[in-house]
């Protein structure tokens, strides 16, 4: 058998269920890898090794009992996972990536945690995030930045950057991420992974009361479409009733060939009027590679022109930053916020409720108009990112990318930081506004071969309910 971390998530699931590998062996193996690799990778903020091994021992006891009595095991029996440090795990500190908060252990599991624990997964800890999950890079003032396993000088993206780095480096078989403006797809693209953002409402654990526009969805970060499908099966509740197991699983559906599709190819972005940008050659190379692979698989690609309302940037930013304005932060600790968080918090607090409602109303109109345009094609195709993964510290203007950063090393240019992010990932957030499913697929590497140089991906956007189709296409392309 290959090393445990070299197994796909589906293969690891199988050997755990068969008893060839115990849950304690799997947890211990990944914890050893975290201990060896995390000091230079920065993927984890907190490692809960003792609790993980206890939970794994309980899973092994359950396996032994099930074998004796012929009982069924949960879907993700013994599978190691980790949670973004925005997600509560009972008894573990949730930092939200912020030095301005009191870091107290969570009293209870969040909905996502409960779902995956209930499916048999074993939590190994909490992964690195930007402050309050606001940015497309996973750097903050409380822990070392999350780095790209393919080039440690580069960022792993955000806001699920720590989780993506952990999966790409073999510290986890797969991981859940949350995506409110690209936070699964951006780090997936930066780290050479498959990242799926489900459509709005498919995964109940992704909902949040602090998300007035309904932007956030929970989805998998994985090394393959099959692995992503396995996690999606655990995230999506089974249909109630006597026929709850009659429908094929996402894992089964992902193995099927997709129909021949008409795919619209576009470089248009709702950010280009306020932040004119030119995609890097590497992004165009990834797009060209994606087109070649799709056409070789029998699909038809045509150039698509999409017209986006130029009021979008202001409305999205208003909705995206609303929650940080109401976050409970003691006044004397606000100085500990990053310049970007502090700036957007102040602006959110100065906005009227009418302004927020106006923005939310516009975004609903934007959703209807954009989805009507997309409906001319079966799927929409564009680069996942406009630039290669950025150097650590590039967005914040930090003098260097090592260790913890004192305030003197942050430029305080919040608007410059935000503009860089929008130019780096200009095709992400409008998918969240529309509530549509989308997938990032790592079709290109700057070194010319898979695993060489830096990864660059494509994004495919589908209509509501197309998660299985997106997984099928990713699998068809060899991922």
Sign, CA dihedral 418-45-219-185, equals: positive
Which two structure tokens, joined as six digits, stand for 389? 């993964």
Kind of pairing, strands 175-179 and 217-222?
A: antiparallel
DSSP-based helix, strand, coil % in the chain, nearest 5: 40, 15, 45
- Neighbouring-strand partners of residue 219: 177
Residue among 383, 353, 369, 401 at smallest CA distance from 461: 383
Tell me how far apart the terminal alpha carbons of the chain are, to the nearest angstrom.
Answer: 22
Report the SS3 class of residue 268: coil
Known catalytic membership, residue 123: no
Task: Give the residue carrying structure tokens 């499913």.
Answer: 437
Task: Give the residue carrying structure tokens 């078989």.
Answer: 173
Q: What residues have CB less than 8 Å from 319, skipping those under 6 apart?
A: 212, 213, 215, 356, 359, 360, 363
Name the DSSP letter for residue 93.
Answer: B
Q: Rounded to 5 degrees, what angle do the CA atoms 379, 437, 160 make?
A: 125
58: buried, middle or exposed (CB in 10 Å: 19+, 13-18, 0-12)? middle
Which of 98, 156, 160, 183 is an active site residue?
183
Which two structure tokens, joined as six digits, stand for 56? 């794994």
Peptide bond into 143 cis (omega under 30): no
Known catalytic membership, residue 352: no
Task: Give the residue carrying structure tokens 């992010």.
Answer: 421
Residue among 254, 169, 172, 135 at smallest CA distance from 455: 169
Known catalytic membership, residue 159: yes
Residues in the chain, how many? Answer: 479
Which two structure tokens, joined as six digits, stand for 298? 């029998």
Could you give the angle at which helices 225-235 and 467-476 cross, rounded to 10 degrees? 160
Which of 159, 269, 440, 466 is an active site residue?
159
Residue among 426, 388, 418, 476 at smallest CA distance from 156: 388
Distance CA 271, CA 431 (A): 13
Residue among 477, 409, 405, 387 at smallest CA distance from 439: 477
Which two structure tokens, joined as six digits, stand for 231? 């996690």
Residues labelled as active-site residues: 84, 159, 183
């Amino acid at each position: 058998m290959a090393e445990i971390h070299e197994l796909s998530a589906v293969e690891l699931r199988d050997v755990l269920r068969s008893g060839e590998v115990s849950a304690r062996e799997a947890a211990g193996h990944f914890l050893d890898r975290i201990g060896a690799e995390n000091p230079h990778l920065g993927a984890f903020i907190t490692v809960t090794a003792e609790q993980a091994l206890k939970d794994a021992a309980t899973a092994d006891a359950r396996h032994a009992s099930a074998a004796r009595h012929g009982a069924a095991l949960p879907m993700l029996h013994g599978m190691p996972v980790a949670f973004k440090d925005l997600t509560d795990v009972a008894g573990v500190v949730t930092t939200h990536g912020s030095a301005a908060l009191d870091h107290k252990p969570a009293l209870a599991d969040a909905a996502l945690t409960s779902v995956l624990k209930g499916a048999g997964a074993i939590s190994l800890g909490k992964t690195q995030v930007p402050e309050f999950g606001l940015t497309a890079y996973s750097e903050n003032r409380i822990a070392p930045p999350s780095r790209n396993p393919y080039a440690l000088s580069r960022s792993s993206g955000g806001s699920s950057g720590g989780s993506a780095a952990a999966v790409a480096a073999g510290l986890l078989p797969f991981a859940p991420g949350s995506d409110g403006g690209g936070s699964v797809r951006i780090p997936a693209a930066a780290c050479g992974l498959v990242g799926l953002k489900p459509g709005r409402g498919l995964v109940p654990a992704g909902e949040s009361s602090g998300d007035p526009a309904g932007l956030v969805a929970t989805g998998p970060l994985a090394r393959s479409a099959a692995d992503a499908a396995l996690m999606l099966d655990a995230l999506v509740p089974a249909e109630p009733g006597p026929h709850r197991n009659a429908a094929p699983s996402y894992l089964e559906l992902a193995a099927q060939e997709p129909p021949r599709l008409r795919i619209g190819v576009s470089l248009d972005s709702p950010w280009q009027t306020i932040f004119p940008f030119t995609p890097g050659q590497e992004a165009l190379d990834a797009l060209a590679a994606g087109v070649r692979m799709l056409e070789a698989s029998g699909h038809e690609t045509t150039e698509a022109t999409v017209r986006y309302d130029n009021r979008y940037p202001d409305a999205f930013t208003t909705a995206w930053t609303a929650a940080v304005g109401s976050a409970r932060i003691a006044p004397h600790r606000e100085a500990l916020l990053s310049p970007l968080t502090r700036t957007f918090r102040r602006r959110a607090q100065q906005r009227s409720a009418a302004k927020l409602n106006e923005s939310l109303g516009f975004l609903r109109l934007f959703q209807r108009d954009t989805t009507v345009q997309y409906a001319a094609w079966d799927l929409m195709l564009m680069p996942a990112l406009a630039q290669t993964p950025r150097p650590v510290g590039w967005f914040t203007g930090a003098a260097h990318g090592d260790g913890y950063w004192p305030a003197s090393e942050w430029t305080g240019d919040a608007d410059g930081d935000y503009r860089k992010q929008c130019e780096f990932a200009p095709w992400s957030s409008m998918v969240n506004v529309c509530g549509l499913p989308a997938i990032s697929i790592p079709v290109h590497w700057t070194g010319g071969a898979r695993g060489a140089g830096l990864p660059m991906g494509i994004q495919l956007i589908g209509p509501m309910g197309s998660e299985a189709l997106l997984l099928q296409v990713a699998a068809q392309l060899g991922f």
